[in-house]
């Protein structure tokens, strides 16, 4: 098929981008819509959690906080009457971050699922236990946020479901850029009617959120499975990895302790022996050592060592502005810092990735961040729905000539065809689900194109005058 057969009014590259934009919207649009709606709901989870779990989260607003040891003991005593906690062991402690907020004492329990812990909420002033909840992951996500997060990530289908969100993120940026090209080409063209009005809404919303959509696509891919693995490999190759601490300790005898923790440590068993002391007896000293070492955020998590040759891990988890996510490894024998990863020392790329993820989640800039993410997610959802409405109104009648991606590709000149194939191969390898779905697009489109050619040939034969 030669380019001469293309109507003069048509631009071959524009026709190709139009068909590609249409295909992404038609076949990937439902996945993007689900991701947009669930992501918008996820951004609201801090307020939802604060309301639903207010009994567990609120504490006495005035008074002096008791020691962390006393709070752990209160949580243990409460668990002693609770069958869920009969085999629970201390996993971590998140001290109260402000007056009127409970302390979270986290326990691991073999009865719970993978990455799940039991959080016991303790009033730091009165030591009253406010209840318990099963929390998830390193972030200690509360139940409602967890369900919405997992639905957004994998439709509650486990690893198989992760393909949906990766597919959406892989094509979202293509849809956004395609829409920008189409807007630029159509700008100034007169149009009227219902479909034209719908297109104006679709286009206007798309323009307003284009930058945000590109950002969501890029940051979403960093969490994905296959594309995320490729991104991690690239980061490792270029030295863009996020620094982490080492918890490995020298098991040789530790030097004698001096300073403010000496008296406390003198009462402890021989720390050079394999046996571990009760972590509750050390946690206040570890907390004080971490604060003295520079962890000044109230959002601190303290994790006891799991064996005698491991350090305690103390980390900040405040990802708002300014970001405070420093991490320390503390030797419980000497209360000295053996390893640390300070956010200020991170390279530019790890910092940008950290900030990008936090903005994506709506937590970087507080309420303003939430409002922007909700606006983008809502506008994206409306844009997709308007796109389907336009397609439904303009859908071809049965028997109409088919406009296919393959046909549009063949209208392109050879240099452009080679460039398109090269880009498709490159992005298909980097984003495997994009590559696989593109093959499906082309296969279905190719069958449709061949069928249309056959139907047209039959029609030409029937319409040819008899000799």
Confidence (pLDDT) at 446: 85
When pLDDT is averaged across residues 220-243 and rounded to a whole number, the result is: 94
SS3 label, residue 377 = helix
pTM over 0.85: yes
Residue 201 has pLDDT above 90, yes or no: yes
pLDDT in tens, 267-280: 444 444 456 889 99
To 5 degrees, how large is the angle CA 205–CA 208–CA 213?
95
What domains appear along the chain, each with residue ranges and CATH number? 58-141 (3.10.450), 262-345 (3.10.450)
CB-side neighbour CA atoms (13 Å) of 257: 20
Mean residue pLDDT of the chain comes to: 89
462 compared with 291, residue with greater pLDDT? 291
Return d(Cα 107, Cα 82) in angstroms, integer.
Answer: 13
Band of residue 76 on the pLDDT scale cut at 50, 70, 90 = very high
pLDDT in tens, 144-190: 999 999 999 999 999 999 999 999 999 999 999 999 999 999 887 77
Confidence (pLDDT) at 75: 96
Residue 254 has pLDDT above 70, yes or no: no
Confidence (pLDDT) at 82: 54
Confidence (pLDDT) at 191: 76
Confidence (pLDDT) at 6: 44
Q: Write phi, then psi, for 20 (nearest 5 degrees).
A: -65, -45
When pLDDT is averaged across residues 197-211 and rounded to a whole number, the result is: 95
Confidence (pLDDT) at 454: 82
pLDDT in tens, 317-353: 999 999 999 999 999 999 999 999 999 999 999 999 9
Confidence (pLDDT) at 332: 95
When pLDDT is averaged across residues 49-71 and rounded to a whole number, the result is: 97
Three-class SS of 324-354: ECCEEEEECCCCEEEEEECHHHCCHHHHHHH
């Amino acid at each position: 098929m030669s380019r001469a057969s293309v109507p003069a009014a048509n631009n071959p590259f524009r026709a190709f981008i139009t068909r590609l934009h249409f295909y992404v919207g038609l076949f990937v649009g439902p996945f993007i819509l689900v991701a947009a709606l669930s992501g918008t709901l996820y951004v609201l989870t801090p307020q939802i959690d604060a309301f639903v779990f207010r009994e567990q989260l609120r504490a006495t607003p005035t008074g002096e906080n008791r020691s962390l040891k006393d709070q752990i003991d209160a949580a243990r005593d409460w668990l002693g009457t609770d069958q869920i906690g009969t085999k629970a062991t201390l996993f971590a402690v998140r001290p109260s971050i402000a007056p009127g907020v409970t302390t979270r004492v986290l326990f691991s329990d073999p009865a719970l699922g993978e990455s799940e812990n039991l959080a016991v909420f303790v009033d730091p002033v009165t030591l009253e236990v406010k209840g318990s909840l099963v929390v998830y992951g390193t972030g200690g996500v509360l139940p409602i946020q967890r369900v919405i997060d997992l639905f957004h990530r994998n439709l509650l289908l486990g690893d198989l479901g992760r393909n949906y969100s990766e597919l959406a993120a892989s094509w979202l940026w293509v849809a956004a850029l395609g829409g920008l090209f189409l807007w630029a080409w159509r700008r100034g063209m007169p149009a009227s009617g219902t479909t034209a009005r719908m297109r104006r809404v679709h286009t206007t919303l798309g323009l307003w959120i284009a930058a945000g959509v590109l950002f969501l696509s890029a940051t979403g891919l960093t969490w994905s499975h296959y594309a995320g693995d490729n991104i991690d490999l690239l980061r490792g190759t270029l030295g863009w990895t996020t620094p982490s601490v080492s918890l490995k300790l020298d098991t040789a005898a530790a030097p004698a302790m001096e300073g403010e923790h000496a008296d406390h440590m003198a009462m402890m068993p021989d720390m050079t022996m394999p046996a571990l002391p009760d972590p509750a007896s050390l946690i206040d000293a570890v907390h004080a050592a971490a604060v003295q070492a520079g962890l000044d955020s109230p959002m601190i998590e303290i994790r006891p060592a799991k064996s005698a040759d491991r350090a305690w891990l103390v980390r900040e988890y405040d990802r708002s502005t300014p970001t405070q996510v420093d991490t320390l490894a503390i030797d419980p024998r000497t209360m000295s810092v053996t390893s640390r990863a300070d956010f200020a020392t991170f390279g530019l790329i790890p910092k940008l990735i950290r900030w990008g993820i936090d903005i994506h989640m709506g937590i970087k800039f507080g309420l303003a961040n939430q409002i922007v993410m909700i606006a983008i997610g809502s506008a994206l959802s409306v844009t997709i729905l308007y796109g389907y409405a336009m397609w439904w109104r303009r859908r071809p009648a049965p028997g109409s000539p088919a406009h296919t991606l393959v046909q549009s590709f063949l209208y392109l000149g050879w240099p452009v065809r080679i460039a398109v194939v090269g880009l498709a191969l490159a992005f298909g390898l980097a984003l495997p689900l994009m590559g696989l779905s593109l093959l499906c697009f082309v296969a279905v489109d190719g069958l449709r194109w061949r069928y249309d050619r056959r139907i047209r040939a039959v029609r030409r034969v029937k319409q040819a005058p008899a000799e």
